[in-house]
Amino acid sequence: MKITDLKCAIIGQNPVVRITTDEGIYGIGEIESPKAYIKPHVMYYKQFIVGQDPTNVERVMLRIRNLGSFKPWGSAVSAIEMALWDIAGKAAGLPVYKLLGGKIRDKVRVYNGGVRFPMKGSSPEDYAEVMQKMKNAKEGFTIIKQPISFHGGAHRVVPNFFYGEVEDGSPYISRGLLTEKGLKYLIECVKAMKEVLGDEVGLALDCGPGWVLPSAIKFAKAMEPFNVMWLEDMITGDYTPYVLADVYREVTRSTSTNIHTGEQIYLRQNFKDLIEKHAVNIIGPDPCDIGGIAELKWTAEYADLHGILVAPHGVFNGLFGLAAQVHMCATLPKNYIAFEYPVGRPEWWYDIVEGLPNPIVKDGFIEVWDSPGMGVDFNEKAARKYLREEDKDFFD
């Protein structure tokens, strides 16, 4: 079997990769919705993979893996990797999880990142209200993640939140020491959310980046009585092209609150310091950024050897990304907590993708399915009407 073509279409907001072969088998991979601009970068890799055997996934990846980088530039490589696994599974007549070593769990826990409700404001009462709505959601989530602080925009709406200037333009560049007022505000918001969730649903906090070390330590210690699941991306994260493991270690050693990061990191090598230095308690690589699902599994296995947990990121990964997460997480070791649940946006995505269970989530879990490959595909007739003019040949 040989790869004959690589295509990329923007469907809705998500770039979608389609790899075709000379035996009529094709594979699909998906890139996060904020990255429509990545399409030309995807197509750059075509010259390196056409003519290769797609079922030799690692051999193909060795041709392109060195050409990616930290978020967002690893997403093109990652989508290609997932499309290759889709082809390999279909060719073998096996679900992808079998090719990754087989599942160790029949259902995978998800945490709520994608099911959102508008907030009326930014008061503690507003946080409590939206938390109640997420707690009542039909998916029955057992863990809910909520953006706060710099990630939640508090620095823009709370006067004198921190000692610094609010920067416009590129995301996540506002940074500085929290004021006493800012710290107290965050504590009150968390208190309000925990009063709603109690000990029935875990609360994870997506915090930054934007924190400086003293504020991060002070806030992490203040969170200890609330037993939050984790504090995410306080020092680096999202679009930060470096790790700062030594700084994270200072935070982690100062508190019993779990510290979490990793969504922007590309490749196993760049998790090495975080893991070997025990710089965080939980890593959160995104399969759409780290280099794919096999890359994430390898990293999770290495983290497990060091007593570090894994809760993969993935809120923008779409429905094909969701399928890839299910297969991957079914095979992860016992350090797995849950992966971040993505949703289809716009809603018509659910009309153009076939193979997902209905309902997808039951009581906070997704049952692992056994269809060959990733087990999901486009309803081509339904999907064609959403193709842009320049992508009309995507299914040809």
**96: three-class secondary structure by DSSP:** helix
The CATH number that applies at residue 347 is 3.20.20.120
Q: How far is residue 13's CA from residue 277's CA, in Å, rounded to a whole number?
A: 38
Which residues sit opposite 108 in a β-bridge?
A: 366
Write the pLDDT tens digit of every residue in 340-393.
Answer: 999 999 999 999 999 999 999 999 999 999 999 999 999 999 999 999 999 999
175 domain residue, yes or no: yes
Q: Could you tell me if 285 and 355 lie in one domain? A: yes
Q: Could you tell me if 285 and 326 lie in one domain? A: yes
Q: Could you tell me if 387 and 368 lie in one domain? A: no
Q: How far is residue 276's CA from residue 388's CA, in Å, rounded to a whole number?
A: 46
Q: Could you tell me if 345 and 220 lie in one domain? A: yes
154 domain residue, yes or no: yes
Q: Could you tell me if 32 and 132 lie in one domain? A: no
pLDDT at 343: 98
Note whether 48 and 64 are within 8 A (CB): yes
Q: Could you tell me if 213 and 358 lie in one domain? A: yes
Q: Could you tell me if 222 and 353 lie in one domain? A: yes
Q: Could you tell me if 202 and 340 lie in one domain? A: yes
Write the pLDDT tens digit of every residue in 55-68.
Answer: 999 999 999 999 99
- pTM: predicted TM-score of the whole model, two decimal places: 0.97
Alpha-helical (H) ranges within the chain are: 39-44, 46-49, 57-64, 75-92, 96-99, 124-135, 149-152, 154-157, 180-197, 213-222, 245-253, 272-276, 287-290, 293-305, 318-329, 349-352, 380-384
pLDDT at 78: 98
pLDDT at 110: 98
Q: Could you tell me if 68 and 104 lie in one domain? A: no
206 domain residue, yes or no: yes
Q: Could you tell me if 68 and 125 lie in one domain? A: no
Q: Could you tell me if 48 and 150 lie in one domain? A: no
pLDDT at 172: 73
How many structural domains compose the chain?
Answer: 2
294 domain residue, yes or no: yes
Which residues sit opposite 283 in a β-bridge?
A: 261, 310
**204: three-class secondary structure by DSSP:** strand
pLDDT at 111: 98
47 domain residue, yes or no: yes
Strand 353-354 with 377-378, pairing: antiparallel
Please list the ranges in the chain whose pLDDT falls under 70: none
Write the pLDDT tens digit of every residue in 258-291.
Answer: 999 999 999 999 999 999 999 999 999 999 999 9
Supply 91's token pair: 């060719």
75 domain residue, yes or no: yes
111 domain residue, yes or no: yes
The CATH number that applies at residue 383 is 3.30.390.10
Q: Could you tell me if 214 and 233 lie in one domain? A: yes
pLDDT at 173: 85
396 domain residue, yes or no: no
pLDDT at 254: 98
Domain range for 383: 3-94+379-391
Nearest to 142 by CA among 366, 367, 365, 364: 364
pLDDT at 169: 77
90: amino acid identity, one letter: K
